């Protein structure tokens, strides 16, 4: 049985450039923090328009999305 957020998680992974572009991923209650190998592969505009994503931030090579 698929989880409630499986489709959104899959979309986010695609929009950050795929799993092969992720060096690390850390989560907390309201954020997903990605360290990307190549930040140019991330589609920040589409990521910001994704359901449950409130903001997309870049900070020192890390990309964060603030959700719900």
Radius of gyration of the chain (CA): 11
23 is catalytic: no
Q: Which of 1, 4, 19, 28 is catalytic?
A: 28
In the chain, the DSSP E strands lie at 22-27, 31-36, 53-59, 62-67
Q: Which residues are catalytic?
A: 28
């Amino acid at each position: 049985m698929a989880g409630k957020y499986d489709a959104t998680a899959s979309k986010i992974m695609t929009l950050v450039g795929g799993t092969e572009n992720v060096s690390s991923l850390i989560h907390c209650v309201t954020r997903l923090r990605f360290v990307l190998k190549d930040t140019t592969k991330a589609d920040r505009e589409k990521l910001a328009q994704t359901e449950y994503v409130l903001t997309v931030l870049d900070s020192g090579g890390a990309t964060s999305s603030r959700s719900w």
